[in-house]
Structure 1
Amino acid sequence: MRDLPVYRHKAEILKALKENQVLIVESPTGSGKTTQLPLILKEAGYDELGIIGITQPRRIATLSICDFIKRQLEIEADNHYCAYTMRFDDTSDATTRIKIMTDGILLQEMKANPYLSNYSVIMVDEAHERSLNIDFILGLLKQITEVRPELKIIISSATINTQAFSAFFNDAPIISIQAGAFPVEIKYTTTYQRKRFMFFEGDYLNIAYLIQNSIENNEGDILVFLPGEYDILQVADYIKPLASKTVVYLLYGRLSKEEQEKVFTPTPDNKTKIVISTNIAETSITIDGIKVVIDSGLAKTNFYNQKNFTSSLESGPISKSSAIQRSGRAGRTQPGICYRLYSQDDFDSKKDFTVPEILRSDLAEVVLRMSELGIYDYEA
């Protein structure tokens, strides 16, 4: 794995980190930033100064990244040198030196250990997602830099809007890394009317037809992005007639850890793997063998309604950056195809970036969360 693009920038990364407290690493899907940066830090001796901490927005990514790093280090599964921590599941102990955790766990640790005194490096991965947790972590880390100049901070993001992170951390340097991904052919369709943000029976049939056609053309394993659990179950039902030719895995937040991990199962001979997922599969995790992506152009996000003072999970159009992330899933190891269930005009009219969660949340909830974390300068 040391031939991945990030590892080839090892000397540049370590030099920048030696000369600066905060470093922004921007790199697209397939560069190896999530799995190779912890190894680079270990080889430079940061594990001897404290824990190398890596945050992830999702549980499934936390698990898969920990397993991948352990395989690279050739350490046994029950060795705690590299461990993961998430709600109700903690494999770390006093010997842990590389710790992959959900971002919510780091926030909880910051309550009891506000200066993160047992860490030598904190790497915030997938920072471009701009969830409330990520924004709170970034704000708290900036405060810590004033007290602990020896703590190194890496903000890892896809190649979108990294200048904002640099400006926030007093013009921190940015290292841009190209992924060298394989080409992905984009195929738009006008079959779907994107003025509405929900699916009907005809939509599920059309997706099933696309899947069937892709299998008949031997295009490869398929990843389908849909907005929610109901849509995923509907499409899975419509492709049951293809069962003799396929293995189908579902991926959404409510599934157990064991069910989610099934997506990493190698594809049997003479079968096509089909993964039907929400935006969980958009970043961080790598599902080997994916050559075809079917992108609905939709995702469910939480919005606060100022008229009736309620928050709800609503299906809506994704941003350009999310669409690019999704198509990139098809070009990780070989050339691929992305079927976008919307037109080129729909893509061109999308917002460049996903609206940060803090801008679509109930401000009362945001203030309460900030108070809980000991942040009282609400206007800053």
Structure 2
Amino acid sequence: MASADRATESEEFLVSLYRPSTILPITRHRDALLYLVKNYPVTIVVGQTGSGKTTQLPQYLHQAGWTEEDKIIACTQPRRVAATTVATRVAEEMGVRLGEEVGYSIRFEDMTSPRTRIKYMTDGMLLREALVDPLLSKYSVVMIDEAHERSLSTDVLLGILKKIRRRRKDLRIIVSSATLQAEEFARFFGDEGEGGEKRDEEKKELAKIISLEGRCYPVDVLYLEEPTENYLEKAVQTVFDIHLKQLAVFDPAPENYRKVIVSTNIAEASVTIENIVFVIDCGFVKLRTFDPRTGIEALSAVPVSRASATQRAGRAGRTRTGKCFRLYTQKAFNDVMTEAGIPEIQRSNLAPVLLQLKALGIDNVVRFDFVTPPPSELMARALELLFMDPMTAKILLNSVNFQCTDQILSIAAMTSVQNVFITHESSKKPAESAKPFAPKASKPNAAKWCKDHYLNFRALSRAGIRRCLTTGYFAHAARMQPDGSFRSVNGMQMWAHPSSVMFNRKVDWVVFHEVVETGKKTFIRDVTVIEKDWLLEYAPGFYQLRR
């Protein structure tokens, strides 16, 4: 029943996305778009969500012959849900089965076939394909959709495509953006030299910009006269105010019901939901940031940019005159909010990005051509981590003494360990009684002994690993407090992350690998239980026992 309900919801969602292609704003620009793609290596398409660029442009290119000779048109999306939903919609419009001529590829799910000619995928999936095929030779056109979101994968992909274009003059690149950042993208692709200068043989214009009309109806924007202290309460109140005072706007309302959609910022650009007339904008977005000095990653609510606020207001006014209620003052809009959001590459841990670039064959990662170069401090920190952080290095060196090098190598790569005891309700009591005999597992018949006593032999054989981890992560030690929190050696209050096996468990001392700040709480991840005496044994210069 649940799956049937989900299927029905999915169908209803697709219906809400439907809009006859002949009345989409992109329709009148079809010939101009095809001309630009044919004659210029890079086309920058500016159009608000709902203009039809994501669903129609790949179809135009397919009809114009860009998929001949078994070539494929790729359209990347920053989010999985957008890739799957749009692919389903385009397959429906073309009257083909999803996974045949039109398909999608996201992590852990590939809905394509040798017949696929229009392929929607996440940015990360196309980067993975570049590991196997550095020139992306099977693609005739690569369209980077929602480029204004400036995710890490998007920025890396743009840099990779710029390098590929120097080798593949036949490749066409389309950058689609819902905000007015077109000039920045055009300048980026126009500077073809490594040092940012255009090569002599490439003096011709490389990138052209085309703008599509979007919203057809005006949107009234209403601000608060005074800042509010409780945004959640104010948002709920505004919903009821709209419902009570503006009933006639929704005529006819099916069965006297009104749909209220509570959404994250995915509704800003990644999906189009028709018949939205009112938008309530709280003015905040949750962003993940990384502090290279402390190594702490935080997920915090911060004010949106003015560009994002404009995007949110644009959800209204698609089918009729709309209104946007902003839960902040006009002064805050003008003075507090920035013009555009900070690209993810300027606020993230870049170590994984640099490893990815290395895997893609980029030797000089420092000189890699980013649309917006990351701060030097973030780059320096990432380069340091490329080799190995001191804590990981120490446990790898000490693993020889503890005879657990293979296991520590795995932990260094995965930063995870198994639970020692196999716990089932039926065997809980005998398992508990077997704990005192754990040292016997080191005997030759250890595997059988562990099985007889409800022990996980593979995990128990790693008992020395906890000691080894203590030798490297002694500075990341923390003790549980009566309220269930942990207090680190420098006095910071932290909590076991909900994903940790230590969540809601009573322990004494632990060491941890990572600190994550979310809202008002600081969490620790990759947590391992240790003994207090080990800290004195392996870090006598760092810890002292008080009498």
TM-score, shorter chain, exceeding 0.5: yes
Q: 1:65 aligns to what?
A: 86
Report what 2:217 is aligned to: 182
2:176 pairs with 1:151: no
Q: Does residue 1:379 correspond to 2:414, yes or no?
A: no
Deviation at 1:3, TM superposition (A): 2.6
Whole-Å separation in 2 of the counterparts to 1:359 and 1:46: 36
Offset at residue 108 of structure 1 (A): 0.8
8 Å Cα contact 2:289-2:297 kept in structure 1: yes
Separation in 2, partners of 1:221, 1:107:
46
Q: 2 CA distance for matches of 1:376 and 1:323?
A: 39
Indicate whether 1:210 and 2:231 are aligned. no
Other structure's SS at 2:140 match = strand
**Distance in 2 between the 1:220 and 1:34 partners?**
33
Partner of 1:296: 282
Distance 1:333 1:3 in 2: 12
- Secondary structure at the residue paired with 1:142? helix
CA contact (8 A) 1:92 1:99 kept: yes
Q: TM-score, normalised by structure 2?
A: 0.57
1:219–1:105 CA distance, 2 compared to 1 (3 A):
farther
Match of 2:315 among 319, 329, 332: 329
CA distance in 2, matches of 1:365, 1:90: 24
Q: How does 1:132-147 map to 2 (within 5 A)?
A: 132-147=152-167
1:14 Cα deviation from its structure 2 partner: 1.1
Q: In structure 2, what is the equivalent of residue 192 of structure 1?
A: 227
C-alpha distance in structure 1 between counterparts of 2:117 and 2:351, whole Å: 38
How far apart, CA to CA, are the structure 2 residues paired with 1:59 and 1:277? 16
**CA distance, structure 2, for counterparts of residue 146 and residue 182 of structure 1:** 43
| Offset from partner CA, 1:33-87 (integer Å, 9 cap, x none) | 111111111111112241111000011111221122122212244x511111111
What letter matches 2:168 in structure 1? R
Query: Residues 377, 19 of structure 1: CA spacing in aligned structure 2 closer, same or farther, 3 A cutoff?
Result: same
Contact persistence 1:131–1:358 (CA under 8 A): yes
CA shift for structure 1 position 379: 2.8
Please state how far the C-alpha of 1:180 moved relative to its aligned partner: 4.2
Greater share of strand: 1
* 1:46 partner SS: coil
Measured after TM superposition, the shift of residue 307 of structure 1 is 3.5
2:178–2:269 Cα contact (<8 Å) kept? no
Cα distance in 1 between the residues matched to 2:322 and 2:85: 23
3-state SS of paired residue (1:294): strand
Contact 1:190 1:341 survives alignment (8 Å):
no
Are the aligned partners of 1:221 and 1:290 in contact in 2 as well (CA < 8 Å)? no
| Unaligned segments of structure 1, at least 5 residues | 194-199, 223-266
- TM-score, scaled relative to structure 1: 0.82
Distance apart, 1:361 and its partner CA:
1.6
Which segment is superposed worse, 122-131 or 58-67?
58-67
Query: Paired residue for 1:53, among 66, 74, 78?
Result: 74
Distance 1:160 1:275 in 2: 27
Residue identity over aligned pairs, in percent, reads: 41
Q: Which residue of 2 aligns with 1:99?
A: 119
Q: Which structure carries more relative contact order (alpha carbon 8 Å, separation 6+)? A: 1
1:347-362 map, 5 Å: 347-349=333-335, 350-362=337-349
Q: 2:34 corresponds to which residue? A: 14
What is the rounded CA distance, in whole Å, between the counterparts of 1:338 and 1:53 in structure 2? 35
Q: Distance in 2 between matches of 1:87 and 1:33?
A: 24
Match of 2:180 in 1: 160
1:191 positional shift: 4.4
Distance 2:117 2:248 in 1: 39
Q: Does the 8 A contact of 2:215 with 2:314 survive in 1?
A: no
Aligned residues: 328
Shift of 1:329: 0.7
4+ residue runs over 3 A deviation: 190-193, 218-222, 363-366
Alpha-carbon distance between aligned partners in 2 of 1:122 and 1:327, rounded to the nearest angstrom: 29
1:173 corresponding residue in structure 2: 208
Q: Would the aligned equivalents of 1:330 and 1:337 in 2 still touch at CA under 8 Å?
A: yes
**How far apart are 1:289 and its partner, in Å?**
1.7
Asked whether the 8 Å contact 2:48–2:215 carries over to 1, the reply is no
Whether the 8 Å CA contact 1:303–1:313 is kept in 2: the answer is yes
Paired letter, 2:269 = T
Let me know the Cα RMSD of the aligned residues. 2.0
Q: Matched residues in 1 for 2:117 and 2:264: separation?
A: 32
1:26–1:378 CA distance, 2 compared to 1 (3 A) = same
CA deviations 1:149-179 (Å, max 9, x no partner) are 1111111112322111101111511112221
